[in-house]
Structure 1
């Protein structure tokens, strides 16, 4: 009979791949026990050993890529993902995403973009870029939290009035209500009189109990004066004034921030702050609660848009640092202006660059001074915001009362000059981006909870955060409801697993079942259990190594390569059929057969010993004279690999 050697070789390769797949899938599905069970200590090195032996499959390359990806070894990850694509370009969407991120991390932005686009196409998702309908939904969620009404004592549709600063029981605000007593000159900006500082007494509910009065002294000039903010002791004020130091008339239209000190009842001559310029504006100062930071708006060069929010640090001697732009989390290509910082360190400001209801809208963001960062940005909603310009927002964190200015009219859709509105905040702002992902992490084999598992959330921009499971294996985390996350469950003793969340869900449950892959390798332990080897089986009355046993023994060989000090005692067992002395001899032949096979594969014989125990240690009731099925007898025909020193 003529045998085709090529056919035999191909058949052997196919059998090798099938056996490998069987080892992989066994732990996941008992019905396909021959396609699993390659999850054990130092699996990555074992995979590499198998590849060197000629094994090649999508599963091997995927898991190799994943093992490197999980450990942030992105260059190696791209190597194995690339080999995966050479086998099959139609991979799972999650692998596309991981491949894209690995490519991006290694600087291959062009290919990374290609892979990410393929991921988007497969999953029909988009990056975190909300449409107007999404923004409108978010604004709606934070609307209706204020009771708003005009401050009737200063309301005048023919003049500008704005401001929110309270000094004692008085509101200090700016208005064009009367022509400056020093000059009848009108502003070139709007044809009205220049802004001057006024004061009006209010009761505890911010209702006027007196008439407006222009403030006397040096805080008012013949040009614009507005936006004052006072220190807690009331002896220092920062405010906005026209640039009146330039000889160029065009430059006088710019704004500057001044500081004045009070001695007794008299304000001293205001000083111009050093970061001002004749060539751009700085305006609308705001103090942090500790009075160590001064926030302001400016259209100075180097910003993100028309005007940005900046801060300077105030030293104990009153000197100021260089201005620092608050960055793209706050500033846009549009206009950001009129900052205000509440007592609980939240920044409010007006913007037409972030999505709003019309014109300037008021926005809110928490300040994290320690980490020099900000929380999530929110539109404060209607009725504070409207179709018109809404700005100069200020609130007392204790009383929840405050003021906002707007050029809205009492008649919807009609614009007038700016006027002041008082408000009461009835409910706190809602984190409209917040959603929740929770779930349980359990042991795949025993369905027991896994305490202390690390759950890592990674968004599409690569930002990460982690939580731990509790004693019940439960985890919960707040996430951004508009983002998708790759969620990884990991534990030192278990295989890693990853899943992907959905966006735009308020709450979602994602559970994990992890395959145990690591046990303590100690003297007396059975390495077969450590490596999840189901068994080394022999045919009835035979001692020859079966093909399936060779696959399992390759794991033992890999363990010897990984652990140079490892020594094993091969203990062979038989079933009860046949007499005791014969079974004793048969088990010794089987143990010797395994011994010789391992030595033939390069294992030092001095690291091995063997013994045949016959039927002396049965693991079930199938002893002499007991009728049992072939399957139950098979369970006794086994080998153990006991670690010894």
Structure 2
């Protein structure tokens, strides 16, 4: 029996070994396809191997990557998860890809866990640092998202890839793989060409290829036109004058080209940009308003990660300066691409390196073009443009016309017609206002005739209003601007609020609450009532100052110091218990004790008088007649053991004058 068992075990081990050899053979069979970026074909073969139960680091890395690079994040996250479950040592980049793939499935909580692990493995990576500096990124993105905008999927989109829109004259120009012909091995779609379509209001004409010598049998995309309309910069594979070139590893890189518009309207005279190279890619150009600067994406030497945003000056003769990286506030070890400069000089671009909703997110750096100086240090604040432009998928190719308020962007989000689609919307008119009331903080009563002042974020006064009898104020505001609003009124301390208006329409409601700053005091007033000072209590049959009484006397002391002409009469009282003569003497000792406390604190004795009134001025019905004495509680008796502070004179006016 033992011999038979050993035989069976040996046979099973042999079968498993042969199976492993076979599966390894299949993995090796797609090695060339994987190196050639044929990810669709690679994933099909590797999935078959994985479904048979074979496990290895190499298998799961290649399978997950194949899905990751064709933007199938559901399957990518599944197989990166299987890779991590092996608990083998892998490159930190796989932790980052797993986190990004999880975002693509909207599993943000799990994604954040793997980003923290990525940061622990690679603490100097800019992507991890950006995440740790904004762990609550999702909440901030949601707060700035626009629920008043619903992007439209363009009618001209197809089942193929359509993306990268720019306007030219009365048309839009974009890239598409709708043309048929040779298929690109990466995604099994035809190679991209540049197309144009005339737009009239909200309708489009017939889509046609860009006329001239721009399109070839390889990729063309991402066009931008000079301000005078005579030149077009665009992206193409390294294919020029019918020569297709690869680098030493067999990769054909992307390059920038410039075309000139002929008299017949076609685009000819194709020229290569001088910093193109067979060893790195240069792609996705955009020009600023005057055409004096060109921005683009590249992985040339000096790049932080997979691709960065660079800038060059466009000289008067049309030549370009030496490229310069925009620096680590814009770029990371991830992918930064598809830059666009609007007419205000704001940079929009897509990145996987900064915290976002998933895949490529669009980011904005306001006024960057005005800040760029070749050779200078660069620190440009950025912000995620939020939803609806960004999603859990790849969002890129942002373009906006600030005159027509028309926005285009590209995305492979759910619900599209093809692998990449072009979306559009009109930026709604942004109407902002702030309204509110000026009130007394203590009483909640409105304060008419108050002054309300509106400032910008730097403290420059913009508007000033005096509120009416209803104490209401209202100001019209601009969007995405920091403001400060302040209310003022004589005898009150001012109150102010600082806020930044959002992108979308809203009415902000505020209450500006003022506190009394100068107390209105007249002779014969009781300071205890004016200052809301509790009664100064004394223990039964005692005249010493209690600790809680000392705290309240500090308030009286402060008022006497603030009003040096004020004089007060301290009046002390007892309850009815005990002989009347004794109570009168006891209350007088209490009054004198209170007076001496204030003198010891620096108040001149000629400003203070004091007298005890015993039980002669009870404030309730707790007299000591046989009918009342037994019915009063200790708390009720204590109400009569008190001191009062009556103002006898102030600023030359006496109580007798009243």
TM class by smaller structure? 0.3 to 0.5
- Which fold has the larger relative contact order, with Cα–Cα distance below 8 Å and residues 6 or more apart in sequence? 1
TM-score with structure 2 length normalisation? 0.46
Name which one, 1 or 2, has greater alpha-carbon Rg.
2
